[in-house]
Structure 1
Amino acid sequence: MSEAFIPLSALKGRGAASRLAHRFERETREAWDDGWGTLDEEYGEPPARIETEVRFEDVKSVINQNDSPDIPFDRSINPYRGCEHGCIYCFARPTHSYLNLSPGLDFETKLIAKRNIAEVLRAELGRKSYKPSHIAIGTATDCYQPIERELRLTRSVIEVFKETRHPFGLVTKSSAVEQDLDLIAPMAADRLAAVYITVTTLDGELSRKLEPRAAAPHRRLRTIKTLVDAGVPVGVSVAPQIPFINEDMEHVLEAAWEAGARSAFYTVIRLPWEVAPLFKQWLEVHYPDRAARVMARIREMRGGKDYDADFATRMKGTGLWADLIRQRFEKATNRIGFNRQRVELDLSAFRPPGVAGQGDLF
């Protein structure tokens, strides 16, 4: 796949370096030197600022179901498609290909907001056939990415869960989750809510390259403490683990424990479809001296390939390097005290929309 007339250089506030052509495109374009210095003129100009565009979508369903044996939940909700955080490693980037958009810059600049998500969710929870189960919010794209501050779609989902007393968990790397503590904290007190904060590294400079529009690492740790102080059970995700890039897993776990997190999990980097060439571009822009070593170790964990989607291995990888990461995680979490007690959410409290509170009449 080829980039489309955008030079490979770091773009301020963006993770991808190009609008990489998606896998369904029949034609691709790439820059070519015609001998007249055109490329020198173009590449000599500073990259233009790329604005974020939000498009609205009316959806027919919002609860996604999966039967993946390596995922601890079978239902999820994602209020947004695309993510402004711009994490270069995001495994959801290839989903933009189905919209005829680039998994590169388009994924982080052309966002889709499901504006009727609360109404559709309420209807789905109200079906006679519906049986409550743990629903995870923000499993593909961050439910508290920057546009949530204005659109508040995630908040509307939590309001429906509060109304129906439906349990949920959410994962984010944003401090914006604090704005919904008035809803989350009371539900957590009734064993109806849990939050998981992703802290990929404590290195602020690295974080700005990996996750350019996400909250800084120290801010995420403060968010953990704020949530814990409000009585919310909090876990930490030290994901993804990338060989020779974020090497401070133990320090992240220690800092998260100090902030109040009591559960932890990790995954290794996943490079499905277009994520692989995008990540290679990112390495060449930011870490050209170690790009080959990083990819060699990733392939070692994937049976010699950039990625293997096998359910049994896709989250943790295989081989010596994957085993070393697993040992580091297990030794650190055991030493610190993580995962001693499982958070159990209460499924019995669910009341379909319009039914909650009727018992008070008798």
Structure 2
Amino acid sequence: MINQIRIDNFKSLVDFELRLTSFTCLVGLNGAGKSTLLQAMDFISQQMRGELDEWLALRQWDKRDIGSRLTPKQNIDFYVQVEIHDHGLVEWSASFNRHSLRCTSEEVFHDGVRLLKVEDAECWLVNGSDAGLRTRKMDIVFEYQGSILSQLKPKQLGDVLQALREQVVNIRSLDLLSPEFLRQRTRESAGHLGLGGQKLSAYLHEQGSEARQHLLNQLKHVYPQLASIETRSLRSGWKHLDISEQFAGKFLKTPARHTNDGLLRLMAVLSQLSSDEHFLLFDEIENGINPELVEFLVDALVESEHQVMVTTHSPVILNFLEDDVAKKGVIYLYKNAYGATQAIHLFSIPSLAEKLSIMGPGEAFIDTQLTELESEIKTLSQQEGMDAAATER
């Protein structure tokens, strides 16, 4: 699980820090930085995949677009703390150069031992089998993008660095999910849906009939008329998706290009919750979903074995969260006077904490003027600063 991130100089994220839980829900006004945070998580994951130029092209961005306009800095610095099964806490920090699209410096620590250091075109590496015993140094004479960990072979990395790479690679963003993309035919999925869900038909085809049947069984809880989810490979290699429904004993087969938006979005989300990805990112998760189906969706997200981060503008989403989940996982994003995105647990704000004692999370949210929260947050921050200074004295 990703426990904590810090990132500096990525769009509106300047000296930004956030502790994460298994389910994180981002709320805030338009332009506060919710989508930017999802993009930043995807950016961090891409470091372990390499090929940053392809990632930028896919998002239709230039390398200049990802840096912050709020600072003169060129590099994007980030830190990630990961809790890995059987290994414990691992800390990875790096500085990414926007011109070379490469992490020009990196460090990884585990149990106080530095397993990796990259600096000045040199790499110091402690192999997992030799941890604490021998460090190997090598000159970096090959071209790559992102983290050097994206290029090294498993036998060079050892168990901990391999596990770190796998954990970060398996952050998967669907922040551009849209019906237009979901209806597209694709030849292959490479094991994921794509940022917009454009590989849905190929992904479901490659997952096999057992996975499609599992998805069908889940969807029948809210779409009892569903009869089958079928895929087939066309002569040209494109994968075709059909959804069959049963009405009064008759079967109606509908291709994906004519299927309703809400069903396609649920298919995409639920198929990812059954995947091997570790951390899933969804933007404005409620879009296209009938209010009657929101509770089903929220329950699936919160109860998932995956780590999940979503953004929402809907108090309905929050209303289906238990109070303890809301206290830990609902994060309010806002911009300070300099335009940098800031984060605070929504229900740690005194006025919201008081409302939560008598209202549901969604009711407390809708009963609050978000534009008026900043002054309360500022007062809270000043008080915390005074308390910290008093403690130091």
* TM more than 0.5: no
- The TM-score range, normalised by the shorter chain, is under 0.3
Please identify the structure whose Cα radius of gyration is greater. 2
TM-score when normalising by structure 1: 0.28
Q: Which has the higher strand share?
A: 2
